[in-house]
Structures are given as C-alpha cells and as structure tokens.
A = this chain, B = another copy of it.
Amino acid sequence: MYKIAVLPGDGIGPEVINEALKVLDVISKKFNVKFDVKEYAFGGIAIDKFGCPYPKETENACLNSDAVLLGAVGGYKWDILNGDKRPEAGLLALRKSLGVYANLRPATLFKPLKSASPLKDELLKDGLDILVVRELTGGMYFGPRGTEKIDGGFKAYDTEVYETAEIKRIAITAFETARKRNKKITSVDKANILDTSRLWRSIVNEISKDYPDVELNHMYVDNCAMQLIKDPSQFDIILTSNIFGDILSDEASQLTGSIGMLPSASLRGDKVGLYEPIHGSAPDIAGTKKANPLATILSVAMMLEYSFDMKDASNAIKEAVNKVLEDGYRTADLGKGKLVNTEEMGDKVAEYI
C-alpha cells in the first residue's frame, strides 16, 4: 500500500486534483493496488486557515508519504503578503523539506494537438519531446538574500550559490535519464559571466566522463532561449539551474501549445517524489469548470512510473489520455473539438482506462 499526501491548494488546484484522484481510483481497482490518499492544507488556503502556507501537519504528512501530489498554489488575494508569508514560500519550503532536487519537466507535443503550437509546422518536424531537468533546491531560490537601507533608498541582493555535490547529483539524474531517452544532453549556463556557471560546467564535464555513450553540449542561457524557438528539435534533455530552468521550461512548454497538458516530477534519488502540473492556479477560471485536468492526471502517471514502479499503469493513463484527445474531446484551452468541462474530461479518461 502506497501513501500519498494530496495538496489540492488554490484556484483550480482542487478541481484538477479531483479528476486526478478519480483516475487514481480506477487504476487502484484495475491494477489491484491500494493507495492511502489523504488531503492536507497547503498554499493560500493554509495561510487563511493556519497563518502559514506549509503548516507543520502538512509537512509531517508529506515527509511520511511515498509521494506528494500537488494541485497549484497562489491567487490575487495573497499577492500583497510579504515574501515569506506567501503561497510561493510554501512551495519552496515543500521542495526543500522533501529534498527533491531534480525537477523533470517534459515539454511534449501531443500529436492530436499539433496545430495548437505557436510555431510554424516545418519547425515541429516529428513533434517535440524535450525534457528539462531543472535543479530545484539550490541557486538563487535558496541563497542568502536581503534588503538594506542605504543613503537615498535601499539595496537588495539575492545570491546564486552552487556547491560541487549539488551539481553532481543533478547531473547524474540528467545522465541516467538520458540513457533512457535519446542519450543527448544540452547543459545550459552563463559560463561567460557567472562563477556558478563555470563550476556547473566543469562538474557536468566531469560527470560526463562516466557516460561516454551520452552526447553532451554546453549552451549559454540567452542562446538557448533563442534556439528553443529557432530549432527546438535539436534538444532532447536540457540540464540547468533552478532559475534558468524556471524560465526555459516555461518557454519550452509554451512551444507545445499545450501547457494545460504538461505534468512534472520532482525527485531526490530514491523513490519519493513530488508531482504537479506545470500550470499555475489560474484564479481567473477557478470555479468555472473550464480547467484542463490532464496535466494533473499525467502527473499521476509520472508518480506511478517513478515512485511506484507501475510502468503499465502509467502507460494505461497516457494511452487513455491520447485516445481521448484523438477522439476529439477538448477542454476550452485546447481549441476546437468536442467541448467538455473539467469533470467530463476526468470521466472520459477514467472510462478509457
């Protein structure tokens, strides 16, 4: 029996989580596996109830689970709060407390949705299948920071920090993952300017010696932001730091035109993982039943694969999603087709499994 801590969060979070749990239930029956699923307060709703975005009870539950499934956090009402009181601070604390340093963000073009990509057809070739491997518990997100009063105003700073061991482990994740894919990594940094990037590059080069079968290139982050648009099919795995990964993974996912479709996994080298859609809490459409639950449903598929070694069950979900799309069912964000709402989309996937 696997223990899953579920954090529905804010905005459309609870709505998409509902559908993901519906699908998980079908998997449980079909594959005869028991999941111990409990929901906990997290994000803005936890601020309202407990005064902090990642309450102790939630933390304890997450630390004692095999996997954490997250909806989305944040909303207008909490935007005025100070840095460490915001829903986003809870997200950072969650990642750090779980120690999930490797954030895997696939940017996949779903064949039936090819026309949704903003790129011209000839650039898409046989589709897009990029995996961004983003370092998630280091860099500027967690380095020393502060704001000081000075003559005439303030001085603020944030520090990008990386140590050898942090770079090593994320590089190893990327190289191991590359072996299961097309054996090609583009490591992205700003080594012409940053000390952290030069250390990053040298460690990645060192690790690559243990993987002579994997092709490694280095690219500057500004060039990568260009190349993703110019010739996206040159990329297989993009390995990069926390802040660069934040930017580049959003860019890459937009290229697929299916941001409502993309899941993510955050891992730490054992079986424990944090799974969440890459989209946000979309407060503007919360409650309208327009949200696309597929990214969260596909996050469950990643959870089955990475945390529970249930590759067949994972594939069953992915195939069902593809079939539902092929048969023309679409939530509002996906463009023309048989329009369905959040629940109907969840029902369809459950039915097709």
Contact = CB atoms under 8 A, between A and B. Distances in A.
A83 B147 contact: no
A203 B152 CA distance: 12
A162 B228 CA distance: 30
A255 interface: yes
Contact of A194 (B123, B145, B154): B145
Nearest to A167: B153
A251 B250 contact: no
B251 A156 contact: no
Given A145-B195, A229-B255, A153 B164 contact: yes
Contacts of A140: 160, 193-194
Given A118-B120, A120-B118, A225-B247, A83 B198 contact: yes
Contact of A118 (B88, B153, B229): B229
Q: Please tell me how many copies of the chain the complex holds.
A: 2
A226 B199 contact: no
A147 B254 contact: no
A251 B225 contact: yes
Interface in A154-212: 154-165, 168, 190, 192-196, 198-199, 203
Contacts of A150: 163-164
B193 A165 contact: no
A346 B198 CA distance: 39
A243 B145 CA distance: 17
Contacts of A145: 194-195
Given A145-B195, A222-B246, A229-B254, 15 more contacts: A118-B229, A119-B119, A140-B160, A147-B199, A153-B165, A154-B163, A157-B159, A158-B196, A190-B246, A221-B246, A221-B247, A222-B250, A225-B251, A244-B247, A251-B251
30 contacts: A83-B195, A86-B192, A92-B193, A118-B120, A118-B123, A140-B160, A140-B194, A141-B193, A143-B157, A147-B195, A150-B163, A154-B163, A154-B164, A155-B161, A156-B161, A156-B196, A156-B199, A157-B161, A158-B160, A158-B195, A159-B159, A160-B160, A222-B247, A222-B250, A225-B225, A225-B248, A225-B250, A226-B253, A229-B255, A247-B247
Closest 8 CB pairs of A and B: A153-B164, A156-B199, A225-B251, A226-B254, A222-B250, A156-B195, A88-B192, A145-B195
Interface of A: 74, 83, 86, 88, 92, 118-120, 123, 140-141, 143, 145-147, 150, 152-165, 168, 190, 192-196, 198-199, 203, 221-223, 225-226, 228-230, 243-244, 246-251, 253-255, 259
